[in-house]
Structure 1
Amino acid sequence: MATKKKEPQYKIDKARGILTYLFGLSGLINILALTGAFYMLQIYDRALASGSISTLIALSVLAIGLYLFQGVFDILRSQILVRLGAKMDTTLAPLTHQVVVEMPRYGYSTAEAAERGRDVDTLRSFLGGQGPIALFDLPWIPIYLVFVWLLHPVLGMLTLGGATVLACLTILAEVLTRRHAHTMIKAAVTRNAVLDSNTRNSEVLHAMGMTQRAVDRFERANRYHLEHQTKTSDIGGTLSGLSKVLRMMLQSAILGLGAYLAIGGELSAGAIVAASIVTSRALAPVDLAIAQWKSVVSARRSYNRIQETLAVLNGKEEFIPLPEPKESLRIEGLTTVAPSTGAVLLSEVGFELKAGQALGLIGPSGGGKTTLVKSLLGIWPALRGSVRIDGADLGQWNADFFRDHVGYLPQDVALMDGTISDNICRFAEEPDPRKIILAAKAAGIHDMIVHLREGYQTELGPNGTALSAGQRQRVALARALYSDPFLVVLDEPNSNLDAEGEEALTTAILSVRRRGGIVVIIAHRPSALQAVDMVGLMQGGKLTSFGPKETLLQTKAKPLAVEKSFGDSHRPRSTAAE
């Protein structure tokens, strides 16, 4: 099938025009910042010398006008930076979040994914702070050095020496901060991972008396993070304080040296004050840059990671939309490894299902059933082999295929914070009420929903806590059946169901088969296999048996491995002792 390279959805380089404009605006602001020095120079050397009130008034009016222009341009620059950050957030946040959502599939922890998701916030906050202003002002320091040099070369050399020392402090801040920044980030990810784990398992921690141990574990991770954060802050704080002291010393040195030159008749009184003002203004961006260096480092790191994130999206290929699937599902030599460890979990699995068939996967725990399901849905990328729908590799189907033609019920159900109808229709922007009700009826849960006080608009809360485990599983089954998908994958769909729920499940599977869909179901209880016609036995990551249910599960010659896959759950309970 022909493909085309996906066009980049957004490039941060688009902001270069705005940044160039801000650089020029910063130059104008820095030139106007010389107003105070020129004003003092003219006051001392012209107005006072001539004793002219009109000259004083004219100079003051001119200075006020220039100050107003500088203030307006400064406000304009600040507002442009804030809006640039908001624009980047609006454009980049959804794209970054798309990658963040998929990161756990590739072995990243949720804490690592969350850290990547905060990069846009970090960059936006940086653009709205003082860091960019310092960076924009730094290149214009030579304006002030030239001005002081024109007043007197000796003062210019002294100012240049002070600026060089402060520049060295900035470089030192970069070198020392970088040593701890990477470790600090890893420590933050570890701490957030513990926090996330404790939050998700709060009920277990309370019920088994593990809360204090969990808190202690978090405290150790938090202490390690704080140690490196403190070191980084100490570096910035120490160098910032040192730069302030050096700047004040340099200003005093300029005044003292200027007075010496004035006594010798080489400098006027106005030039002394002007040199002091300009020197202070020249070194202010360096001082501010050192104080903001921690945020500069964080923003640069976030910028680089956002670029990596966009590169992932821009590297994807977009395939020509294919016709709706309606024929087959074929697995060819599928081999899958665990994303986090690289351990082989699935090896050379292959089978084919035609429209209207249902496959029940059985086998011992750890045999590879769930891994197979995640692989055929593309949740875990395959190392080798392929999954083909109507002959086309899974990678050739666009995202709309999974939204419109795949239904999935995972082990952990995974309902989202929203209403029952939101979850069933998969948070469609324009949900079809008829399809929602049909899906609920197919899952046998319509009557239960309408008996709730808010009906389909009942808010489920985080993870669907407003419902029982069985109710959550049946709502998730309705979500999997919404809009009559071609491929329905169910991972232990009856683990929390009562007899009524299992009957509804069987009816739903038969309904999918009758309309020409394909069902793949992981079963640990024989009742889940009532509506399937094919059975596969998974052992040690391999599909050791595959065939019609009647052949594989025949009563008289049932293989021992199949017997063990269900344990005693399928045997009739003895009544001898009752």
Structure 2
Amino acid sequence: MTSNNPKANYGLEKVRGIFAYLFGLSGIINILALTGAIYMLQIYDRALTSGSVSTLVALSALAIGLYLFQGIFDIIRSQILIRLGARLDHQLAPLAHTVAIEMPRYGYSTSEAMERGRDVDTLRGFLSSPGPIALFDLPWMPIYLAFVWLLHPMLGLLTVAGAIVLALITLVAELMTRRSAQTMIKASVTRNSVADSNARNADILHAMGITGRAVERFDIANRQHLESQTRTSDISATLSGLSKVLRMMLQSAILGLGAYLAIKGDLSPGAIIASSIVTARALAPVDQVIGNWKGVVSARRSHRRLAETLGVMKDKSGLVELPVPSHSLVVDNITTVAPATGAVLLSEASFQLNAGQALGLIGPSGGGKTTMARSILGIWPLLRGSIRIDGADLSQWNENFFTSHVGYLPQDVALMEGTIADNISRFAKVPDARPIINAARAAGIHEMVVHLRDGYQTALGPHGTALSAGQRQRIGLARALYGDPFLVVLDEPNSNLDAEGEEALTKAIISVKQRGGIVVIVAHRPSAMQAVDMVGVVQAGRLVAFGPKDEILQPNKARPVVVERSLPSDRPARSFASE
């Protein structure tokens, strides 16, 4: 797959160079592997017939030297493959994790997203397995066939026939495992999804006494996975066993045919042993490929899936650094669909906010308010329309824009494993105490934090479950305010707050407005609307009203929609490639 994103190629040009080197090295190893056959041929046909001990010693010394070289080259090849796997993992793991973070935004489950990380593990594991070595040795099989043919054409024909039979078994393995392997992957994703859901809802399962039912659901998914895995393994094991039997039969047939030719006087005794050794070596790569075919299929699928998913990642490394935003937010005729189903959640919404303004989005549950917030932040891709900051579309801003100039408090506050300081500073590489404390003061939690035993260094644990819902929400608010961002989006920011927390929230909104920022608030409770200037009413996926707060909230008065319209954009939503 060709991609415009250089990251998607993850150094494939250098990898191809390494593969070319390994291919050449494999050629040398396979030529040296003829040492045993030539040695036996010379022992039986020269040393024994001449009775010369010096010839025997010289041949033995030469064979030992060649064996040592073969062993050294073999070790070098294995170590190169191991380090190549580690190198690819080093390059791919961060990209794959980025994909895993992005995919849920496009409707994929967490388990499907995490498969990309497992794909990296599969590739690294395959490169450290015997599979690649067998694949590198396979193209050099003609060397052995030619050697056997030179000993006698009939031996060569028999060896070629055996190689063709084993190649057909390899083809059968490919055809039979392809479909079952796909089924196994789907069953694995389903099982992991159930397991992940159970783990995330452990409190509910325990409190409502449905742990047993949850385990039953997992057991059903696990059984389906085991059945498909067993079916795939049965195919691989059966074909691998069959190939081994045929290879041993072929070796015996070579010995039998060699003995017949020797009796007829057409072959020497040394050639019989040499032909048997070379035939075994010639067919060994085919046997190994069949035995490792499951790994070959998995590695190929993982490579293809990684190439596809990384290929659609948009590369922002070359974007021009735009000036610090300071003027406006324009929502221009946007339409947003649900990533998972494609259902239209928000249609043709438009409005504009200028620096120092705060907008409150109100409306019934399910009307599209949270969709509006996610669209503004670029969390959910737009089907049509655009979001512009200071006139520039979101796609023109690099990652530093979102790191430094955007704050977001989601409806379900999720704190990451780390300290309070880490979470507020958004895991800054070199955290600065002053902006951390300023953000905490702006959210009204500085006193609460310093009263904790470890203060700002208090470890939150997974998801911050050691804190109350209100504490998590206020720390999330401090994180959104960290660094004085230009655009702050708050989704139900007071859902878990007490009176003191709501007062701190109002002060924080006023502070953002006073320093020339823009605030967008999704709210159900009126207390969150105290500091807003503008109000938008979102119903049934449409912005049905937008204007000054006094006009929109004043009863018995028409609710005008003050919007700026523009021609819709045909830019499609991005999607991630799957199986």
TM range (shorter): over 0.9
Q: How much does 1:251 deviate? A: 0.9
| 1:35-87 deviation per Cα after TM superposition (whole angstroms, max 9, x unaligned) | 11111111111111111111111111111111100000000000000011111
Give 1:341's aligned amino acid.
Answer: T
Is the 1:6–1:316 Cα contact (8 Å) retained in structure 2? no
Is the 1:459–1:466 Cα contact (8 Å) retained in structure 2? no
Instruction: Tell me what 1:262 maps to.
Output: 262
| 1:542-570 deviation per Cα after TM superposition (whole angstroms, max 9, x unaligned) | 1112222222223x53789xxxxxxxxxx
Is the 2:405–2:484 Cα contact (8 Å) retained in structure 1? yes
- SS of the equivalent of 2:68 reads helix
Is the 1:420–1:459 Cα contact (8 Å) retained in structure 2? yes
Give 2:120's aligned amino acid.
Answer: V
Q: How much does 1:314 deviate? A: 6.0
Instruction: Tell me what 2:405 maps to.
Output: 405
Aligned length: 555
| 1:138-169 deviation per Cα after TM superposition (whole angstroms, max 9, x unaligned) | 01111111111111111111111111111110
| 1:431-472 deviation per Cα after TM superposition (whole angstroms, max 9, x unaligned) | 111000000011010111111111111110111112111111
- SS of the equivalent of 1:427 reads coil
The alignment status of 1:171 with 2:171, answered yes or no, reads: yes
Is the 1:492–1:523 Cα contact (8 Å) retained in structure 2? yes
> What are the residue-to-residue correspondences of 1:185-200 with 2, within 5 Å?
185-200=185-200
> What are the residue-to-residue correspondences of 1:392-541 with 2, within 5 Å?
392-541=392-541
TM-score (norm 1): 0.94
Instruction: Tell me what 2:360 maps to.
Output: 360
When residues 112 and 491 of structure 1 are mapped into structure 2, their CA distance, relative to the original with a 3 A threshold, is same
Is the 2:5–2:311 Cα contact (8 Å) retained in structure 1? no
Instruction: Tell me what 2:228 maps to.
Output: 228
| 1:245-295 deviation per Cα after TM superposition (whole angstroms, max 9, x unaligned) | 111111111111111111111111111111111111111101000000000
Q: How much does 1:317 deviate? A: 8.0
Instruction: Tell me what 1:182 maps to.
Output: 182
> What are the residue-to-residue correspondences of 1:560-571 with 2, within 5 Å?
none
Q: How much does 1:16 deviate? A: 0.6
When residues 527 and 315 of structure 1 are mapped into structure 2, their CA distance, relative to the original with a 3 A threshold, is closer
The alignment status of 1:329 with 2:339, answered yes or no, reads: no
- SS of the equivalent of 1:118 reads helix
Distance 2:130 2:325 in 1: 55
Give 2:129's aligned amino acid.
Answer: G
TM-score (norm 2): 0.94
- SS of the equivalent of 1:340 reads coil
Distance 2:65 2:146 in 1: 24
Distance 1:7 1:156 in 2: 48
Is the 2:316–2:398 Cα contact (8 Å) retained in structure 1? no
- SS of the equivalent of 1:319 reads coil
Q: How much does 1:315 deviate? A: 6.1
- SS of the equivalent of 1:520 reads strand
Q: Structure 1 residues 300-309 or 20-29, which shifts more?
A: 300-309
When residues 425 and 237 of structure 1 are mapped into structure 2, their CA distance, relative to the original with a 3 A threshold, is same
Distance 2:22 2:450 in 1: 59
Distance 1:169 1:385 in 2: 55
Gaps spanning 5+ residues in structure 2: where?
A: 560-579
> What are the residue-to-residue correspondences of 1:181-330 with 2, within 5 Å?
181-313=181-313, 318-330=318-330
Is the 1:325–1:389 Cα contact (8 Å) retained in structure 2? yes
Is the 2:134–2:286 Cα contact (8 Å) retained in structure 1? yes
Distance 1:406 1:315 in 2: 20
Distance 2:192 2:7 in 1: 32
Instruction: Tell me what 2:349 maps to.
Output: 349
Q: How much does 1:184 deviate? A: 1.6
Q: How much does 1:306 deviate? A: 1.8
Is the 1:378–1:394 Cα contact (8 Å) retained in structure 2? yes
When residues 19 and 314 of structure 1 are mapped into structure 2, their CA distance, relative to the original with a 3 A threshold, is farther
| 1:181-222 deviation per Cα after TM superposition (whole angstroms, max 9, x unaligned) | 222211111111111111111111111111111111111111
Instruction: Tell me what 1:17 maps to.
Output: 17
Instruction: Tell me what 1:103 maps to.
Output: 103
Instruction: Tell me what 1:575 maps to.
Output: none
Distance 2:503 2:195 in 1: 40
Give 2:366's aligned amino acid.
Answer: G
Distance 2:151 2:453 in 1: 83
Give 1:300's aligned amino acid.
Answer: R
Is the 1:409–1:477 Cα contact (8 Å) retained in structure 2? yes
Q: How much does 1:310 deviate? A: 3.0
Instruction: Tell me what 2:577 maps to.
Output: none
Is the 1:6–1:318 Cα contact (8 Å) retained in structure 2? no
Distance 1:6 1:273 in 2: 55
Give 1:36's aligned amino acid.
Answer: G
Is the 1:6–1:317 Cα contact (8 Å) retained in structure 2? no
Instruction: Tell me what 1:134 maps to.
Output: 134
Give 1:16's aligned amino acid.
Answer: R
Give 2:485's aligned amino acid.
Answer: P
Distance 1:87 1:315 in 2: 21
Is the 1:106–1:340 Cα contact (8 Å) retained in structure 2? yes
Is the 1:134–1:286 Cα contact (8 Å) retained in structure 2? yes
Distance 2:319 2:386 in 1: 17
Distance 2:541 2:458 in 1: 41
Is the 1:108–1:340 Cα contact (8 Å) retained in structure 2? yes
| 1:204-247 deviation per Cα after TM superposition (whole angstroms, max 9, x unaligned) | 11111111111111111111122111111111100000011111
Over the aligned positions, Cα root-mean-square deviation in angstroms equals 1.5
Q: How much does 1:13 deviate? A: 3.2
Instruction: Tell me what 1:557 maps to.
Output: 556
Q: How much does 1:512 deviate? A: 0.5
Distance 2:162 2:74 in 1: 26
Instruction: Tell me what 1:566 maps to.
Output: none
Distance 1:500 1:241 in 2: 73
Instruction: Tell me what 1:84 maps to.
Output: 84
